[in-house]
Amino acid sequence: MTLHNFSKENSILNQFIAELRDVNIQKDAMRFRKNIERIGEVLGYELSKTLNYKDKKVETPFGHKKVSMPQNKIVLCSVLRAGLPLHQGLLNYFDKAENAFISAYRHHRDNQDAFKVIVKYLAAPSLTNKILVLSDPMLATGKTLENVYSALKKHGIPKQIHIVSVIGSKSGVEYVKEIFPEYTHLWIATIDDILSSKGYIIPGLGDAGDLSFGLKL
């Protein structure tokens, strides 16, 4: 797997990440969602540099011009519900992409630290020979992405996989490296060192789904 860790250099992503982490700015759910969406746009732009391109002649009012255009068939897949703002950011740039949606949530039995990830809903087109872009803002343990990838396999084998995340843990990133095939790219805005006993990123930013859409029962 190829890792693209954008915390290695300074960029406008620093501002978006700082606002996502800030407990006072977090109170504005619309601002929180927008910052995740903007991160999706930035990472989507960087991802686009790895695609295949072909020259196309474009007619202008004054003549013609050759422009290199992306050729890959892309499927954007978001992990519900936290992945929706990130998905939107990617969709803003890859507006011709097909879309897939999958639900995955943690189940802590009897409030124990240990949990399993349950996948209940999946809607996806064929993935065969396409570029699969998985968007999940929080890469904590990596088990959610593992289960999502396992569920998606029945829809075909993609030509390449791109995982797009906002924040990850070091251990989660290492776990994903072991689970996903070599032709996978991970695009991530920043990585934190610590994972709590309950599988939450420290210092992280909290629950991205709750902060985006409100508390759940």
3-class secondary structure for 22-52?
CCCHHHCHHHHHHHHHHHHHHHHHHHHCCCC
Contact by Cβ (8 Å): 162, 141:
no
Burial class (CB in 10 A: 0-12, 13-18, 19+), 166: buried
> What angle, rounded to 10 degrees, do the helices at 170-179 and 143-152 form?
20
Contact by Cβ (8 Å): 101, 119:
no
List Cα–Cα distances, 15 to 7, 23, 93, 120, in angstroms. Answer: 12, 14, 21, 35
In angstroms, rounded to a whole number, what is the distance separating the alpha carbons of residues 140 and 117?
12
Which residues are registered as beta bridge partners of 184? 161
pLDDT digits (tens), the chain, 217 positions: 999 999 999 999 999 999 999 999 999 999 999 999 999 999 999 999 999 999 999 999 999 999 999 999 999 999 988 999 999 999 999 999 999 999 876 655 655 545 566 777 899 999 999 999 999 999 999 988 998 999 999 999 999 999 999 999 999 999 999 999 999 999 999 999 999 988 899 999 999 999 999 988 7
* pTM, 2 dp: 0.92
One-letter amino acid for residue 24 of the chain = N
Tell me which residue of 112, 104, 111, 93 sits closest to 46, measured CA to CA: 93
Whole-number pLDDT of residue 112: 55
- Three-state DSSP string of 41-100: HHHHHHHHCCCCEEEEEEEECCEEEEEEEECCCEEEEEEECCCHHHHHHHHHHCCCCEEE
